[in-house]
Amino acid sequence: MQLNSSLKQSKRLSLTTELNPEDGDTDQEAVEAPSTRPSLSSTGEGASVYIGQRSNSLAFQKSEELQKTFLNHQHDRQLIILQDFPDPDALSCAWTYQLIAQQYDIKCEIIYAGTLSHQENIALVKLTGLPAQRWTLQSLKSKDLSCYQGFVLIDNQGTTSQLLASVQQAGIPLIAVIDHHSLQAELKSEFVDVRPYVRATATIFTQYLQAGLLTLDSSIGQHVKCATALMHGLRSDTNRLMQAQEDDFMAAAYLSRFYDAQLLNAILQANRSKRVMDVIERSLKNRIVQNNFSIAGVGYLRYDDRDAIPQAADFLVTEENVHTAVVYGIVHDEDDELEVVIGSLRTTKLTLDPDEFIKEAFGQDSTGRFFGGGRTSAGGFEIPMGFLSGSNENPTYAKMKWEVYDSQIKQKLLRLVNPQDNPIQSE
């Protein structure tokens, strides 16, 4: 069959020069693969067969570029920085990067500053043994950053990580940015692969795998778990493939040969905590619906429950006559040292660009940095509370503070929701 032959062809492709083509389909290939540096075919024909028609040449070209970057940094130690609250897309891709980099004797640590909040993310990390570590700003002070020769941003561009500033201050160079969010700012990076039209970074990474940067082998447990994680990342960023496009489906089809369906099911079965349910309840109670927008402030919530906000937005957008939901609240850590307004947007309206909407609604801070952004069908924002942080033991103050933020966010959102009754005629 034609499909089979193209698969075979591309399987060989990944190992072309190092192995005898005769051995291409034996187990030896698989055993040797992890220790053998992959080499990409110069023609790229095989890979293009099943990377998909639209972006195959770009995917292949980027894979080659990335391979060169790895070659330039053999034996280095790198940090992979994820957003403060990493999602399955980010986690799975970081792991894939780490596994690819291993072949070049590059040791990577996957770090994030916030917490794993969504029950599915906790299950993902626990069940697959995904090697991500939490580095708080506090613990960063005791780290010796001089042993790292580079850092990498995956599924983010540094705007959603508290760790970025310290790592930059330590003089560590940015080696790679691989993301599918709209370009946030010009980043000085050796390798850049930012594709906003791709629905998941997991799709980009699966294309790297297909192009031969790492040969997956179903007899290697770690590979199966990583493929499962990628499948989860891909599904969760495409609303269970409902918003997936050709590239994403092609990537999922490839992963389907390696992933563990039972393991994925176990990850998806993780239950919501009672506190998350309570936040969703509050969002239902507090929501206002105008012009098909559902807007809900949920008050204060603990840092660990932060992911209840996107989950509440996911839920509110399912109401009839609602195409877009925005949910926000004040998230604080145990000692109230860190307080930040966090919000999530979900939309099913094709013509609404979440990135534009959020940038337009909330604008920039004094340094010119936007408070948030988005990708297809989803977006988020974070507004640091700075001087107003803390003192919540005084209930009157805490209530007043919430009311001020709540009304200001509503005003900014409603300005876009009902442009005609804009009370502030500033522009």
List residues near Mn ion by CB under 5 A. 89, 155, 201, 237
Tokens standing for 365?
């801070």
Nearer to Mn ion, 46 or 374 (CB): 374
Nearest to 189 by CA among 106, 81, 100: 81
Ramachandran bin of 240, using left for φ above 0, alpha for ψ from -120 to 50, beta for the remaining angles: left
Nearest approach in angstroms of CB 198 to Mn ion is 9
Query: What is the secondary structure of 240-257 as a DSSP string?
Result: TTTT--HHHHHHHHHHTT
**For Mn ion, which is the closer residue by CB, 48 or 236?**
236
Minimum CB–partner distance for residue 90 and Mn ion (Å)? 6
Task: Output the smallest distance, CB 425 to Mn ion, in A.
Answer: 38
- Contact call for residues 390 and 338 (beta carbons, < 8 A): no
According to DSSP, the β-strands at 372-375 and 132-134 are unpaired
Residue 95 near residue 226, CB atoms below 8 Å = yes
Nearer to Mn ion, 237 or 339 (CB): 237
Q: Helices 395-417 and 354-362: crossing angle, nearest 10°?
A: 120
Residue 41 or 117: which CB sits closer to Mn ion? 117
User: Which residue number, 84 or 237, has a Cβ lying nearer to Mn ion?
Assistant: 237
What is the closest distance, in whole angstroms, from the C-beta atom of residue 247 to Mn ion in the complex? 14
The answer to whether 270 and 288 have CB atoms below 8 angstroms apart is no
Between 201 and 210, whose beta carbon lies closer to Mn ion?
Answer: 201
User: Residue 383 CB, nearest distance to Mn ion (Å)?
Assistant: 22
Q: Please name the helix (run of DSSP H) or strand (run of DSSP E) that holds residue 4, with its range, or none.
A: helix 2-13
Whether 78 contacts 175, CB under 8 Å: yes
CB of 200 to Mn ion, least distance (A): 5
Nearer to Mn ion, 29 or 89 (CB): 89
What minimum distance in Å lies between the beta carbon of 111 and Mn ion?
17
Tokens at 131, concatenated: 């090697």
Position closest to Mn ion via CB: 89
Burial 193-231 (b: 16+ CB within 10 A, else e): bbbeebbbbbbbbbbbbbbbbbbbbeebeebbbbbbbbb
